[in-house]
Amino acid sequence: MTSESVPITQSPDPNDMDDDVLNVVGLKKYFPVTRGFIRRHTSMVRAVDGLTFSIKSGETLGIVGESGCGKTTASRCIVRSLEPTEGQIWFRTAAGDVVDLAKLSQSQMRPFRRDIQFIFQDPYTSLNPRMTIFEIIAEPLVVNNVGNRREQEDRVSSLLRRVGLAPEYMKRYPHAFSGGQRQRIGIARALALNPRLIVADEPVSALDVSVQAQVLNLMADLQSDLGIAYVFVAHDLRVVRHICHRVVVMYVGRVAEIGNPDDLFRAPKHPYTEALISSLPAIEPSKRKRGTMSLSGEVPNPANPPSGCFFHPRCPYAVEKCRVEAPEVREIEPGRFTSCHRTEELELVGSDD
Q: How far apart are CA 234 and CA 47, in angstroms?
A: 17
The reply on whether position 216 binds other proteins by CB under 8 A is yes
Residue 80 or residue 182: which is nearer to other proteins going by CB? 182
Size of the site for other proteins (CB under 8 A): 46
Of 333, 329, 321, nearest in space to 263 by CA: 333
- Which region among 23-31, 73-81, 214-222, 321-329 touches other proteins (by CB under 8 A)? 214-222
Q: How far apart are CA 26 and CA 29, in angstroms?
A: 10
The reply on whether position 275 binds other proteins by CB under 8 A is yes
- Which region among 109-117, 276-284, 320-328, 331-339 touches other proteins (by CB under 8 A)? 276-284
Q: How far apart are CA 28 and CA 50, in angstroms?
A: 5
Among 15, 210, 225, 345, interactor with other proteins by CB under 8 A: 210
- Which region among 27-35, 108-116, 128-136, 206-214 touches other proteins (by CB under 8 A)? 206-214
| Helix intervals (H) in 69-208 | 71-78, 106-113, 133-143, 149-162, 179-191
* In the complex, minimum distance from the CB of residue 186 to other proteins, in angstroms, rounded to a whole number: 16
Among 110, 114, 162, 238, interactor with other proteins by CB under 8 A: 238
- Which region among 26-34, 113-121, 215-223, 321-329 touches other proteins (by CB under 8 A)? 215-223
With beta carbons less than 8 A apart as the criterion, state whether 207 and 216 touch.
Answer: no
Binding to other proteins, residues 52-111 (CB under 8 A): 66-67
The reply on whether position 318 binds other proteins by CB under 8 A is no
* In the complex, minimum distance from the CB of residue 293 to other proteins, in angstroms, rounded to a whole number: 5
Tell me the CA end-to-end span of the chain in Å, nearest whole number. Answer: 51
Q: How far apart are CA 50 and CA 118, in angstroms?
A: 22
Q: How far apart are CA 60 and CA 221, in angstroms?
A: 12
